[in-house]
Structure 1
Amino acid sequence: MAEQYKYLDSFIDVQRANGKYSFTTENLHDQLDVSENALKKSLQRLKNQGEVVLIRRGFYVIVPPEYRAKGIIPTSLYVNDLMKFLNRDYYVGLLNAAAYHGAAHQQPQSYSIITKGITLRPIRNHKVSIAFYIKKEWDKKDIMKRKVDSGYINISSPELTALDLVNYYKEAGGFNRIATIIEELKEAMQADILIETARKYEEVAVVQRLGYILEYVLEEHEFSNGLYNYLESINYYPTLLRPQRKKSENMITGNRWKIVPNVEIETDI
């Protein structure tokens, strides 16, 4: 059994030497000539020692000594490999993307991944919290590559991040929080790129809400005027600032965004 442990330890050493923080059981079966039972026992030993963590069935991450106290490595170090394992196109979004762009108002409680296809169960335990959000489509031009120690990860551009924060306002902590983050995020945004990203965004109501927040909450007129010029070129209709199941009896908006302000928004800044 000690010899079998050596095989697995050597395999992990090679992974780390190649800058990898993860592996799959398929990798192990391909490269190690040991029985299924021996492999399970070896993996259990490493799990008990805190040297590896099972993230999703068949997918493990390696925990180097410098991360043992935390019990897990940062999600950014293995997210790209995880999504390859799941065979999904993806990008890191919402609060995590905002943090990469310098809008780190608060440490995100969960790691947000936008992906396509059928719904994926979240990964949540005492060490890991990853939430998956499904989208039908996005433009690759709105996705950026960000360098991390293990390679590159996909993140949403500042402009796409702002729109997504409005779209997933509940998951991002509510309108007050996202307004605060967008206030910081706008330093990394460009007005012309925001317009182009908005043109491709699947929900026009999200563009209306973002424009309203930029104008009335953040008093950011360069960005808001650009979005309004885009909206003038299409058909858009009165909508609630905060979506709700029951439609408001009074849909009078009183603003150019055709937004019914059914909630007050205040930033924390």
Structure 2
Amino acid sequence: MFAREYVANLAARGDYHFTTDDVAKATGRSPRAVRAQLRRLKARGTIAEPVQSFHIIIPPEYRSRGCLPPEQFIPQLMGLIGEPYYFALLSAAQRHGAAHQRPQVDKVMVRKNRPSIECGQVRVEFVARRDLRRMPVCEFNTPRGTARYSTPELTALELVGYPNYAGGLSNVLAVLRDLVDEMEAEGLVEAAHLSPVSWSQRLGYLLERIEEIDLARALRPLVSAHAQSFTPLRRAVSRIGADRNGTWKLIVNVDIEPDE
């Protein structure tokens, strides 16, 4: 058996992920010979290798992109290496119907930093959060299985917690306007108790800005009980002369208008 036959058999069974070792074991050929055969398949656009020795089969509808969408191979990759994960930030917001356009780079939360992935036109960046196993997630079906995403409420908190990964606070505010339709107060409080209190301070203020009073009100007890000091709305900007919001113990050191 040649590598091309192995790949064809996998696709016929609806399996689109494999490793170099899988091919070597199935064909009885040396790793060197297998790699040579796989290089030829890559050159033809039949397969891609987003991570060394981890391969994906590219069906015709994705040949122009040179890769499967991230949600169709990241879960399998993370399962192979035994790492927890979930799609986060603008990638999760888009899944929940709250992104104006699909993000150019997908963001995946993992326990520690990993090199980004470039596969054809697909870009995946990893963001580290050590306690991600505790975070509330939801699963969505994909043509290749299921993929894990942060809940709408956790997504909102992480957007204000990692604004540099989300196009800045003005973009975050615009995304929140759509994301709130999927958010519930109970879920927001649950996620807030698992996150830094400064995120709740910022998010509560932004929710009030877009007149989502019920959601903002749900965060007030946590902020009142746990916020020990005033925190800046934007950390990298001077606080001199900035207004202070007593409700959220927030230094409003930037003027934010939502991106249209």
Q: TM-score range by the shorter chain?
A: over 0.9
Superposition map of 1:6-17 within 5 A: 7-17=2-12
| 1:81-120, Cα deviation, whole Å (9 max, x unpaired) | 1112332110011111111111121220111100113x21
Secondary structure of the equivalent of 1:222? helix
Is 1:60 the counterpart of 2:52 in the alignment?
Answer: no
Letter of the aligned partner of 2:136 in structure 1?
A: D
Report how far residue 12 of structure 1 moved.
1.4
Question: Which of 215, 223, 229 lines up with 1:231 in the alignment?
Answer: 223
Q: 1:232 aligns to what SS in structure 2? A: helix
**Residues 16-36 of structure 1: CA deviation (Å, up to 9, x unaligned):** 233322211122223220122
> Does 1:256 find its partner at 2:247?
yes
Gaps of 5+ in 2: none
What is the match of residue 115 of structure 1? Answer: 110
Deviations 1:115-142 (A, max 9, x none): 113x211113652311001111035561
Q: 2:206 aligns with which of 201, 210, 213?
A: 213
CA positional deviation for 1:40:
1.6
Amino acid at match of 2:205: Y
Deviation of the 1:144 alpha carbon: 0.8
Which of 121, 124, 130 is the equivalent residue of 2:118? 124
Sort the Cα spacing of 1:113 and 1:254 in 2 relative to 1 into closer, same or farther, 3 A.
closer
CA offset digits 1:204-241 (Å, max 9, x no partner) = 111100011001x2111001111012222224310110
Q: Please give the root-mean-square deviation of Cα atoms over the aligned residues, in Å.
A: 1.8
Which one-letter code corresponds to 1:214 in the other structure?
L
2:83 to 69, 88, 108: 88
Distance 1:198 1:33 in 2: 53
Unaligned runs of 5+ residues in structure 1 are none
Instruction: Report the counterpart of residue 153 of structure 1 in structure 2.
Output: 147
Stretches of 4+ aligned residues off by more than 4 angstroms: none
Measure, in 2, the Cα distance between the counterparts of 1:139 and 1:252.
37
Q: 1:254 to 1:81 in 2, by over 3 A?
A: closer
Q: Which amino acid aligns with 2:8?
A: D
Say whether residues 1:103 and 2:98 are aligned partners. yes
Cα pair distance change 1:261/1:251, threshold 3 Å: closer
**3-state DSSP of counterpart to 2:245:** coil
Cα offset for 1:170?
0.8
What is the aligned length? 260
Distance in 2 (CA, whole Å) between partners of 1:180 and 1:248 is 24
Note if contact 1:19-1:149 (Cα within 8 Å) is conserved in structure 2: no
Query: Which amino acid in structure 2 is aligned with residue 212 of structure 1?
Result: Y
Moved more, 35-44 or 157-166: 35-44
Between the aligned residues of both structures, percent identity stands at: 32
1:195 to 189, 192, 205: 189
Q: Which amino acid aligns with 1:37?
A: R
TM-score of the aligned structures, taking structure 2 as reference length: 0.93
